[in-house]
Structures are given as C-alpha cells and as structure tokens.
Structure 1
Amino acid sequence: MVATDETHNLIAGDKVSGTNVYNTTGDKIGSIYDVMIDKRSGKVAYAVMSFGGFLGMGEDYHPLPWSTLNYDTGMGGYVVPMSREQLEGGPHYGTRDTPQWDRDYETRVHDYYKTPYYWS
C-alpha cells in the first residue's frame, strides 16, 4: 500500500513546501519554502516563507512561527495576519545566509511576531 501524503487533517512536509501564503485581504505574499520541526517534541516550530525577488533571484526567507499560519481551504493556502511591510521588517535571511537557529534567534522571531515560544 502506498502512503498517503494528505488527509483531511494531515499533510506531508514535502507537500507544504510551495504552498502559497496570503495576507488577510487575500493578497499572495509568498510561499512556504520549508518547515522547521523540533527534534524532541516533533512539533512544527516554523514555516520558512520565501518572498521577494524574481524567478528565485533576490529572494529572502522569513521564518514565521507556525502558530501565525492558518490554512484556508478556499484559498488553498496559508493566511497570516500581517502585511507585507510587517513581514519585510521581520527577521529574515538571504539565499546565501544561514541563520544561527539558537534560542536567541528563535526568541527574536517570536518576539517580533508577538507569539508564544513554541518550546514553552
């Protein structure tokens, strides 16, 4: 039997990548590049959203606490309660950068978006 990569409530990680992200007014602001999963708890901690640039050039990656995303079945994508300007001002990194995924960095991400820490 072949494994299912999507059910009514579950989705495989590789299907999340590429899913569009919209703001609350329905404007597409980016797409999910990847997800970051806590190794110990198994919780999805962040969605790394890509936006900006053209054809993959000049793109930036913005880690969003998973709790900021809501899946909208009608739109077929995730909705975040923030504007493009708010996202642009948030923690991000370029294609050639690698953030230091330590508690200091994660704390800055959560504090910027005013969300509870996933590890609490």
Structure 2
Amino acid sequence: MTTPSGHTDAIAASRVIGTAVYNTAGENIGTIEDVMLDKMSNGIMFAVIGFGGFLGIGEKYHAIPWSVLDYEESRGGYVVPFTREQLEAAPSYSIDELSGSDGKAARDASFDYYKVDPYWY
C-alpha cells in the first residue's frame, strides 16, 4: 500500500522524528516529535506533532492521525490537510498526557476532532 503521493508504507521511525510538518497553505506548523505505537494492532496510533513555544517552553503537542500525513519530497516534510486555525483549535497535550490511558484518550480525541475513520474498529 502506498501513501497518496505514492510512497511506500515502510519507514524507520528514526527518519520520521524531527521531520517538518506543513499545513495545506504550505506553512511550517511544527515537527514530528514522536510516534505512538499501538502494540495491540501493530500499527501507529498517531504522530506527536510539536508546535509553538521556544526551546520547549510553551510548546503544545498534538496527536495527529498517522494516516493523514503525506510526505512531500519537494518540501522535505509531511503535509497535513488542515488549516492553521484547525490545528490551533485542536486538542493539545503534555507529553505525559499523550501516553496516559495507554494513549487511547488522545487517540480518540484526535480521530474525532479531525474526523478520521478509526483504524481500530
């Protein structure tokens, strides 16, 4: 299976972490800080996107469904199909909150907010 832009589905997490993320307008909205893995389904729950803040102070972390990120070679980063306003209004978390409840609370809120079909049904 390939992504919408034709990339394969296998990639090392170490290549993903630190990669820039852009919105639909081409604005750099942050970077991938981590990925949360679903050990029960052997899939990726969500990407942890950090944006805002300075040197980690005031930075907000967002759980973005992995399936909506599309790598764009020309930008050297991932593009999400959301506006800046949608991203700013999205649920945000501390790093500890992202993994609380086995990550399911952040996952469920993210998939609901972005209206992405859940992979776990």
Query: Aligned partners of 1:59 and 1:76: how far apart in 2?
Result: 22
SS in 1 for 2:86: helix
- Check if 1:25 corresponds to 2:11: no
Q: Note the alpha carbon deviations across 1:58-79, whole angstroms, 9 max, x for none.
A: 1110000111211111111100
More helix by share: 2
| Residue 109 (structure 2) pairs with residue 108 (structure 1) | yes
Paired residues in the alignment total 112
Q: Which residue of 2 aligns with 1:72?
A: 72
Mapped to 2, the partners of 1:117 and 1:91 lie a distance apart of: 17
Between 1:9-18 and 1:51-60, the stretch displaced more is 9-18
Structure 1 moving runs of 4+ over 3 Å: 101-105
Highest CA radius of gyration, 1 or 2? 1
- TM-score normalised by the chain length of structure 2: 0.82
* TM-score scaled by length of structure 1: 0.83
> Tell me, which stretches of 5 or more residues in structure 1 are unaligned?
1-7
